[in-house]
């Protein structure tokens, strides 16, 4: 018998947060999240994504043993809106290799969302498309980069057995240093020409100004929302929500890899690459104390993986080579700083232009994720 219990106490919350350690025991490619970060993320008082939404967390138990978890969000901008229907997502979906437990969790999720007027359930994603969306379809042979998921193969089987259908496929791309070239000589010529044309026509590139952080984040948030406004699933992200996503990066950001494009004195685009902090977190087992910060910093300093996380260019300037210029400058900084390979993640299957560019660069599509949906 599988019984569902809603998380209502601190003890329940600790069981919810700690359960993935059972699922991934012995999995060398799983990156444990920081326990302190998970506690803060699931606290509406500290997470602006949750302030205007209703959230519920459930534990699946067999006797006293926890066998699964699921988190639900109804309402709120971060859940999205589909064809006028009330939004709802499920995330933090972790379960033992037991379909009965998965079925009980998903049944409870649908019932809870249906009771709040939700007609469509989408996931898994940890309440936003920017935090570990989807289950892994291909590519479980290496650790994920930051903000991407790592899941057992039976998750896909369970969700499809339950009757869920594909909502979106997402890809992670990888280009090795040797595929780029020390002087970028292996980068497609048309990309280099486009970058040169943008520079000739007055586009300049500058580093992020860390001493004007709030202003820079506000600018990136504005351009990010405008850039993605044409996508059917995109929901405008409030500035405080974007801060919640961006502020932790400030500790690891390299100004040479966080670039803004300007034209006639106005910021018109940005491109952000980060050292992959997951290469450090995989050694931390979820804890920073007592010496965790020192260990974390040591691993970040020696990280050889760079992840190209965000890019945005104002739509009216999209075909002026500005995106090419930002990307080329990022590659130049990557080579100069000794990174061995570049990750690009995640890109939707619907973003044909970015996927085409990745293919032209000779990048390998090394991970494939899937987001599902079902009527409630």
Residues 367, 337, 247, 34, CA torsion sign: positive
pLDDT tens, the chain, 376 aa long: 899 999 999 999 999 999 999 999 999 999 999 999 999 999 988 988 888 889 999 999 999 999 999 999 998 654 444 444 457 999 999 999 999 999 999 999 999 999 999 999 999 999 888 899 999 999 999 999 999 999 999 999 999 999 999 999 999 999 999 999 999 999 989 999 999 999 999 999 999 999 999 999 999 999 998 987 766 666 788 888 889 889 988 888 999 999 999 999 999 999 999 999 999 899 889 987 665 666 666 667 778 999 999 889 999 998 899 999 999 999 999 999 999 999 999 999 988 878 887 887 789 999 999 999 999 9
pTM of the full structure: 0.91
Q: Given this chain, do its domains 3-171 and 174-369 carry the same CATH topology?
A: yes
Cα angle, residue 172 at apex, residues 318 and 225 outer, rounded to 5°? 40
- The Cα 287–Cα 35 span in angstroms is 6
Q: What pLDDT score does 169 carry?
A: 97
Buried b (16+ CB within 10 A) or exposed e, 39-48: eebbeeeebb
Contact (CB, 8 A) for 344 and 176: no
- Residue boundaries of the structural domains of the chain: 3-171, 174-369
Q: What pLDDT score does 287 carry?
A: 86
Tell me the CB-side half-sphere exposure of residue 148, using CA atoms within 13 A.
Answer: 31
Q: Where are the alpha helices (DSSP H) in the chain?
A: 10-18, 20-23, 35-41, 99-114, 154-161, 177-180, 189-200, 213-228, 239-246, 278-281, 292-301, 322-336, 352-360
- The Cα 263–Cα 315 span in angstroms is 14
Tell me the CATH number for domain 174-369: 3.40.630.30
Q: What pLDDT score does 76 carry?
A: 62
User: In the 8-state DSSP scheme, what is residue 143?
Assistant: P
Beta bridge partners of 269: 261, 313
Tell me the CATH number for domain 3-171: 3.40.630.30
Cβ count near 355 (within 10 Å)? 18
Q: What pLDDT score does 83 carry?
A: 44
Q: 336: Cβ–Cβ under 8 A, 6 or more apart, which residues? A: 256
> By C-alpha distance, which of 371, 370, 368, 345 is closest to 138?
368
Q: What pLDDT score does 77 carry?
A: 52
First vs last Cα of the chain: how many Å apart?
23
Q: What pLDDT score does 355 carry?
A: 85
Contact (CB, 8 A) for 304 and 223: no
Buried b (16+ CB within 10 A) or exposed e, 315-341: eebeebbbbbbbbbbbbbbbbeeebeb
Helix (H, G, I), strand (E, B) or coil at 68: strand
């Amino acid at each position: 018998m599988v019984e569902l219990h809603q998380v209502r106490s601190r003890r329940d919350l600790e069981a919810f947060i700690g359960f993935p350690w059972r699922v991934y025991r012995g999995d060398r490619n799983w990156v444990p999240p920081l326990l302190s970060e998970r506690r803060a993320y699931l606290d509406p008082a500290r997470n602006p994504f949750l302030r205007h939404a209703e959230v519920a967390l459930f534990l699946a138990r067999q006797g006293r043993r926890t066998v699964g978890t699921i988190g639900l969000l109804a309402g709120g901008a971060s859940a999205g809106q589909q064809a006028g229907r009330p939004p709802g997502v499920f995330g933090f979906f972790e379960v033992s290799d037991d379909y009965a437990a998965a079925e009980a969790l998903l049944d409870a999720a649908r019932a809870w969302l249906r009771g709040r007027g939700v007609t469509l359930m989408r996931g898994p994603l940890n309440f936003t498309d920017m935090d570990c969306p989807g289950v892994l379809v291909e590519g479980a042979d290496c650790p994920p980069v930051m903000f991407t998921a790592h899941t057992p193969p039976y998750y896909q089987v369970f969700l499809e057995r339950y009757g869920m259908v594909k909502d979106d496929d997402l890809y992670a791309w990888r280009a090795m240093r040797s595929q780029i070239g020390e002087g970028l000589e292996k980068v497609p010529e048309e990309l280099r020409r486009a970058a040169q044309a943008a520079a000739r026509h007055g586009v300049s590139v500058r580093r992020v100004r860390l001493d004007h952080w709030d202003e820079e984040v506000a600018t990136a948030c504005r351009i990010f929302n405008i850039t993605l406004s044409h996508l059917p699933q995109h929901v405008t992200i409030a500035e405080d929500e974007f801060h919640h996503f961006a502020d932790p990066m400030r500790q690891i950001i390299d100004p040479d890899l966080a670039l803004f494009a300007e034209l006639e004195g106005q910021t018109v685009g940005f491109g952000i690459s980060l050292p992959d902090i997951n290469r450090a977190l995989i050694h931390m087992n979820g804890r920073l104390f007592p010496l965790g910060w020192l260990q974390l910093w040591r691993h970040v300093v020696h990280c050889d993986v760079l992840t190209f996380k965000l890019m945005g260019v104002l739509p009216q300037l999209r075909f002026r080579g500005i995106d090419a210029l930002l990307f080329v400058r990022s590659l130049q900084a990557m080579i100069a700083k000794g990174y061995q390979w570049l990750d690009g993640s995640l890109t939707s299957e619907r973003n044909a232009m970015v996927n085409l560019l990745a293919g032209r660069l000779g990048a390998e599509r090394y991970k494939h994720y899937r987001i599902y949906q079902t009527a409630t």
